[in-house]
């Protein structure tokens, strides 16, 4: 999609932010809307690589979550297009409540029943003290819908987060929200979405071919 979309169509390049130290540590810790880390050195490289990749696409507007990791990734994209980034408050990552900063082994030890319920159906059962996947989808889908309708005939990029992206992509695929956890969103991946007056279609999901170090 290296050309502008047809009149009446919007192209959306939906990106997950580059890696942070919390993403990379082992075991990794949950990083919702409460830990606002910047990118790690490898995350900055990923942001530069996705920025270089998208430099060949005619982006008209660049939106992002206001969290540091998303803004830094968006800035790496925007620099190639001479555009300002536009943070959108409600695109923050899912609130993981009392599990913020914890790894899953610790969570299982502290809150085994809440963890079991969450894993069985995250669409209805929230992170302990936080949001469910259903809550997150209800928060972010109106934003995506609004921006897709607003920018007919244009291409836009949105830099968001793992759970935010997964629940929205699941809705486009017609999957139950509980199954969003099965969709992969690697750091600095690109998803391409096409929208016109009749339909919103997922064209490409979790593309990482532009990254020099391919995730497993």
Q: Is residue 60 part of a domain?
A: yes
Instruction: Say whether 119 is catalytic.
Output: no
Q: Is residue 118 part of a domain?
A: no
Q: Is residue 120 part of a domain?
A: no
C-alpha closest to that of 159 among 41, 20, 14: 14
The count of structural domains within the chain is 1
Q: What is the CATH number of the domain that holds 154?
A: 3.40.50.1240
Q: Is residue 101 part of a domain?
A: no
Candidate list 49, 72, 93, 100, residue with the active-site label: 93
Instruction: Say whether 93 is catalytic.
Output: yes
**pLDDT digits 0-9 by tens, 108-137:** 999 999 999 999 999 999 999 999 999 999
Candidate list 17, 151, 161, 195, residue with the active-site label: 17
**pLDDT digits 0-9 by tens, 164-174:** 999 999 999 99
Coil, strand or helix: which one is 152? coil
Percent share of the chain, pLDDT over 70: 98
Q: Which secondary structure element, helix H or strand E, spans residue 107, and what is its range?
A: helix 104-110
- Which pLDDT band holds residue 216 (cuts at 50, 70, 90)? low
> What global pTM score does this model have?
0.96
Q: Is residue 125 part of a domain?
A: no
Q: Is residue 39 part of a domain?
A: yes
pLDDT computed for residue 148 by the predictor: 98
Give the domain range for residue 76: 10-96+136-207
Q: Is residue 117 part of a domain?
A: no
Rounded-to-integer distance, Cα 21 and Cα 52, Å:
23
């Amino acid at each position: 999609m290296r050309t502008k979309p047809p009149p009446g169509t919007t192209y959306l390049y939906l990106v997950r932010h580059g890696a942070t130290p919390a993403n990379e540590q082992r075991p990794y810790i949950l990083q919702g809307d409460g830990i606002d880390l910047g990118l790690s050195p490898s995350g900055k490289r990923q942001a530069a690589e996705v920025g270089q990749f998208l430099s060949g696409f005619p982006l008209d507007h660049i939106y992002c979550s206001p969290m540091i990791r998303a803004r830094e990734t968006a800035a790496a994209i925007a620099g190639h297009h001479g555009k300002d980034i536009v943070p959108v408050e409600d695109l923050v990552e899912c609130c993981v409540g009392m599990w913020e900063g914890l790894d899953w082994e610790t969570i299982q030890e502290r809150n085994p029943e809440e963890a079991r319920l969450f894993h069985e159906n995250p669409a209805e059962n929230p992170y302990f003290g936080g949001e469910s996947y259903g809550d997150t989808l209800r928060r972010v889908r109106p934003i995506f819908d609004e921006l897709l309708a607003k920018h007919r005939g244009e291409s836009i990029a949105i830099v968001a987060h793992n759970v935010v992206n997964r629940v929205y992509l699941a809705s486009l695929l017609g999957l139950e929200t509980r199954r969003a956890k099965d969709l992969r969103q690697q750091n600095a991946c690109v998803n391409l979405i096409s929208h016109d007056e009749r339909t919103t279609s997922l064209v490409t999901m979790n593309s990482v071919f532009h990254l020099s170090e391919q995730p497993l």
